């Protein structure tokens, strides 16, 4: 049963984190942080999501704040560098924020950009990082994805294409036409049944994110039911959310790929000063915000009220009927 709404709201801090570059169309990332009896949770459902979808993100925040994490099986997690859809010339500066990373995830299929832009960006990354994966966020048709796969592998391999097409049917069709592995993200986290993509043989890798799936335990439950490798990734989380993602990755019995949990470098300021990656790995450990940073990064009153009202609506949807 979720905690009482009044208790939840009393424990909530709303912050606005400035970003170094535009990512997902954002230059400021707002999240609500919940200080619970078991630690800190994070509610950061993107503002365009409706309450039904956002309620799952709130459940994840409550889970982290009110229940201790599962036992860790490893104390450090390899992470990928994250390269937004920046011009190729900016790639070295972006990668410098991920010391020791041996894998990079490169955003492609950005609205307003071309495949030539994507190829240039990937080539710039490939010159510096040995393993490259790309993320299209469902931006291609099957035909476009086939063309992109050929162009992006003309001079080197890709570890995988993440969510190249929007639907499960498209992903399954695409796998029949290319040899590059396909990873599913939105097709899992936005599905009524997150296992549909696996049953349809539409992916070689499952990208799982704690918040959209309802919490660490929900993620681990899904991972236990599938027979393809899992990559734990961030949903543009603050340091608190990254810590929760690391706890999930640390609890997985099987972890073969670098995880997408290095997105903290996208923020100019964050709610906690956490150790950066060492040899491409982040240490596992709970994160508590710095009180001074919580105050300094507090969202304007009108935005705080918006988030508290959203929490109230989502809380009603999580209550047993």
The catalytic site residues sit at 107, 209
**Residues 221/60, Cβ–Cβ less than 8 Å:** no
Alpha helices in the chain (DSSP H): 5-10, 51-66, 91-95, 115-126, 142-152, 168-175, 186-189, 196-199, 210-213, 216-224, 239-251, 291-296, 301-318
Q: In what order do the strands lie in the sheet with 12-23?
A: 12-23, 26-36, 39-43
Alpha helices in 96-139 (DSSP H): 115-126
Angstrom distances, CA of residue 97 to CA of 30, 101, 243, 263: 22, 9, 18, 10
Task: Tell me, rounded to whole angstroms, the distance of Cα 312 from its chain centroid.
Answer: 24
The Cα–Cα gap between 185 and 195 comes to 12
Contact 181, 160 (CB under 8 A): yes
**Cα–Cα dist 120/46, whole Å:** 30
63 is in an annotated binding site: no
Q: How far, in Å, CA of 64 to CA of 99, rounded?
A: 29
List of residues 6+ apart from 105 with CB closer than 8 A: 80, 81, 82, 83, 133, 134, 135, 162, 260
Q: Is position 42 annotated in a ligand binding site?
A: no
Could you give the 3-state DSSP secondary structure of residue 2?
coil
280 close to 258: Cβ distance less than 8 angstroms? yes
Beta-carbon contacts of residue 217 (< 8 Å; ≥ 6 apart): 63, 67, 70
Q: Which helix H or strand E contains 233, and what residues bound it?
A: strand 230-233
Q: Would the annotation count 159 as a binding residue? A: no
Residues flagged as binding site for Mg(2+): 135, 162, 185
């Amino acid at each position: 049963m979720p905690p009482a709404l009044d208790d939840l709201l009393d424990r909530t801090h709303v912050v606005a984190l400035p970003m170094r570059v535009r990512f997902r169309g954002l230059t400021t990332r707002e999240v609500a942080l919940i200080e619970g009896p078991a630690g800190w949770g994070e509610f950061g459902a993107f503002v365009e999501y409706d309450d039904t979808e956002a309620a799952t993100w709130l459940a994840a925040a409550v889970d982290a704040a009110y229940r201790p994490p599962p036992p860790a099986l490893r104390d450090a997690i390899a992470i990928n560098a994250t390269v937004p859809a920046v011009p190729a010339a900016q790639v070295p500066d972006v990668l410098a924020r991920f010391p020791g990373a041996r894998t990079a995830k490169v955003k492609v299929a950005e609205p307003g950009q071309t495949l030539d832009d994507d190829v240039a960006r990937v080539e710039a990354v490939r010159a510096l990082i040995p393993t490259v994966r790309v993320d299209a966020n469902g931006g291609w048709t099957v035909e476009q994805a086939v063309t992109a796969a050929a162009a992006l592998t003309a001079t080197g391999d890709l570890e995988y294409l993440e969510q190249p097409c929007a639907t499960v049917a498209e992903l399954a069709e695409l796998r029949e036409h290319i040899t590059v592995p396909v990873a599913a993200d939105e097709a899992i986290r936005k599905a009524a049944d997150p296992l549909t993509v696996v049953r349809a043989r539409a992916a070689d890798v499952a990208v799982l994110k704690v918040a959209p799936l309802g919490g660490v335990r929900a993620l681990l439950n899904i991972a236990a039911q599938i027979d393809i490798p899992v990559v734990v990734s961030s949903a543009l989380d603050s340091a608190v959310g990254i810590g929760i993602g690391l706890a999930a990755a640390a609890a997985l019995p099987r972890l073969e790929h670098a995880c997408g949990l290095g997105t903290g470098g996208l923020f100019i300021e964050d709610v906690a000063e956490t150790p950066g990656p060492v040899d491409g790995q982040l240490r596992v450990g709970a994160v508590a915000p710095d009180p001074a940073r919580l105050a300094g990064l507090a969202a304007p009153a009108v935005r705080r009220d918006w988030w508290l009202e959203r929490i109230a609506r989502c809380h009603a949807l999580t209550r047993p009927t």
